[in-house]
């Protein structure tokens, strides 16, 4: 194993006043202090998306069981359903809450999905309390609940089913507590439809545009998925998803913004659309971000609704190069990509420069 050094690339910084304004006020308990004192290691926690022997990438239905730790050349990922992001967690959640505050359309809920939103909230809060007991707690008394998250300073009581008892409603409340984007899909007439979501960190797509579409419509722009039968197989997998197992898969891209900015949704494109060209022109290719999406699939226990939740990770090309095997493999994968896939992923115009840098 080649061990990567700690990250030297800073994540976006927010002033204390900005964090406080969105309610991010960590309690200074010993457990919180210890958690936040650990430097973020973006390479060490990166879910590397390629098997060691892979040299050419094509889309597949690459699912495996979740909540299983996976070792990489730089560290480990996947032990918990929710990866908080280490000491970056308050920063990530500040960015997410700012996205929600600036654009309420990041949350879309079609009629009939209200109970599924409560189902999702309870599933995740219970999981978080089990995964991080020194930092988070959920107290249950019948339909009355109390959620405490020491890392953000959250202390919220709510009543199951009472939308007015919880700020923002159950779906957005959960989105403001975890880094993951949240998508709920339901089956109608033999198809799966995206019927509710809280999405702040989309990679150049829009929750407002996609909500209400079926899986074929959502993935229509992705080359080769339909012709190779991948969408059909993925839909059948999700329709048959058992209630007692959780699965995951990985997707990857080169982020359209060269900073560790998570919000690159279509809604915020005026804020980041010109960043890449300007940054590369200034010679900043090492800051370009390798973006990984860890997707989790769960059949929720109360409603049977299926989740398609996305946790975004990023490491700069400089950080990728700290693991020589990764740099070499990523260069080979990008260099071999067919033109249609490279074009869809959006970095074809600067792929030669990325490959050269990874091999330098």
Q: Which residues are catalytic?
A: 249
Q: First CA to last CA across the chain, in angstroms?
A: 21
Pairs from 56-60 (Cβ < 8 Å, separation ≥ 24):
56/332, 56/333, 56/336, 57/333, 57/336, 57/337, 57/341, 58/224, 58/228, 58/341, 59/222, 59/224, 59/225, 59/228, 59/230, 59/341, 60/230
């Amino acid at each position: 194993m080649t061990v990567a050094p700690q990250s030297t690339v800073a994540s976006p910084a927010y002033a204390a006043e900005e964090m406080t304004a969105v309610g991010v006020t960590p309690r200074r308990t010993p457990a919180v202090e210890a958690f936040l004192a650990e430097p973020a290691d973006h390479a060490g926690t990166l879910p590397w998306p390629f098997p060691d022997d892979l040299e050419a990438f094509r889309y597949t239905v690459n699912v495996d069981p979740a909540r299983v730790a996976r070792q990489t050349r730089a560290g480990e990922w996947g032990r918990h359903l929710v990866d908080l992001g280490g000491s970056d967690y308050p920063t990530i959640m500040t960015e997410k809450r700012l996205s929600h505050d600036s654009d309420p359309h990041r949350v879309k809920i079609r009629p009939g999905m209200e109970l599924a939103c409560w189902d999702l909230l309870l599933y995740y809060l219970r999981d978080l309390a089990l995964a991080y007991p020194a930092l988070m707690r959920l107290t249950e008394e019948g339909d009355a609940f109390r959620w405490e998250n020491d890392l953000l300073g959250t202390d919220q009581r709510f009543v199951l089913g009472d939308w007015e008892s919880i700020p923002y409603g159950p779906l957005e409340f959960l989105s403001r507590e975890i880094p993951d984007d949240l998508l709920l899909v339901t089956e109608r007439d033999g198809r799966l439809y995206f019927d509710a979501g809280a999405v702040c960190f989309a990679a150049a797509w829009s929750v407002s545009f996609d909500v209400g579409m079926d899986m074929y419509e959502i993935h229509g722009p992705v080359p080769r998925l339909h012709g190779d039968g991948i969408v059909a197989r993925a839909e059948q997998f999700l329709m048959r998803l058992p209630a007692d197992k959780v699965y995951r898969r990985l997707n990857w891209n080169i982020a359209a913004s060269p900073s560790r900015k998570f919000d690159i949704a279509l809604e915020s494109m005026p804020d980041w659309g010109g960043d890449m060209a300007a940054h590369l022109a200034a010679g900043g290719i090492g800051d370009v971000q390798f973006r990984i999406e860890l997707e989790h699939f769960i059949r929720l226990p109360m409603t049977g609704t299926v989740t398609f939740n996305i946790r975004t990770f990023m490491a700069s090309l400089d950080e990728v190069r700290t693991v020589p095997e990764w740099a070499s493999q990523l260069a080979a994968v990008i260099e071999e990509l067919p033109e249609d896939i490279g074009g869809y992923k959006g970095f074809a115009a600067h792929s030669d420069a990325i490959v050269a840098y990874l091999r330098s």
